[in-house]
Amino acid sequence: MLRDYEIIRNDKLLATLKLLISAIALYIIMHTVPSFVELLEDQRPSYTEDLLVRVIANSNTVKDQEVKQQVAHDVNQLMKQSTVATLEKNELMQHIQLHMEKNYAHLDIQMKHGDNLIPPKRIMQTFYPQHAKDSLVIIIGNGRGENWFCSAFPNVCEDEEQPEKEKVRFKLIEWLKKKMA
């Protein structure tokens, strides 16, 4: 036969207070979290409204990639200038085109403006999916090399530097290697 046990009943007032406090806490959390998410969305860098510039190399040879890197660096520096950063999209594109004609007249450079497919990209811990975007594409020569792309705002253009990770070493393994050698 099963043993009977004594059922201890808690105070109904205490149970009601616990339920009430839990309901209020849940209500506060439900109203705080969406506003916090909206705040995070507002602080997200603007990638959709910026002018995207893509530089595509002639080929993947070292020389062509160096030319592409030089053109990309020049465009990046041009876009960082305070006088250029305040320009509208069309004025900025004309400014870049004049810069290319002046400094790279010896290269076969084509500039195309319009909706172009932009591959997915991660910028500053934010993932941007693949999409068609109004952008400026600078094609050097045949345009069969890897590309470079940058937005008009410098914080998007800069590469995130990865800190060098120190190789993990174990004293016991190091000691054994010295003894074996």
47 in any annotated domain:
no
Predicted local distance difference test score (pLDDT) of residue 24: 96
This model's pTM is above 0.75:
no
Q: What is the pLDDT of residues 158-179, one digit of tens each?
A: 555 556 677 777 888 888 888 8
Residue 147 confidence (pLDDT): 60
In a domain, 81, yes or no: yes
Separation CA 77–CA 81 (nearest Å): 7
| 43 domain residue, yes or no | no
What's the domain count of the chain? Answer: 1
Does residue 153 belong to any structural domain of this protein?
yes
Q: Is 74 exposed, middle or buried (0-12, 13-18, 19+ CB in 10 A)?
A: middle
Alpha carbons within 13 angstroms on the beta-carbon side of residue 81 total 12
Q: What is the mean pLDDT of the chain?
A: 76
Domain span at 60? 52-157
pLDDT at site 154: 47
| 138 found inside a domain | yes
Tokens of 91: 């004025």
150 domain residue, yes or no: yes
Please report, as a single letter, which amino acid is at residue 129.
Answer: P
Is 59 inside a domain boundary?
A: yes
Q: What local confidence, expressed as pLDDT, does residue 123 receive?
A: 67
C-alpha 129/C-alpha 67 separation (Å) is 29
Q: Residues in the chain with pLDDT < 50?
A: 47-48, 153-154, 156
pLDDT at 156: 46
DSSP 49: S
* pLDDT tens-digit map of 35-54: 776 766 665 555 445 677 78
For residues 164-175, b (16+ Cβ closer than 10 Å) or e, as one string? eeeeeeeeeeee
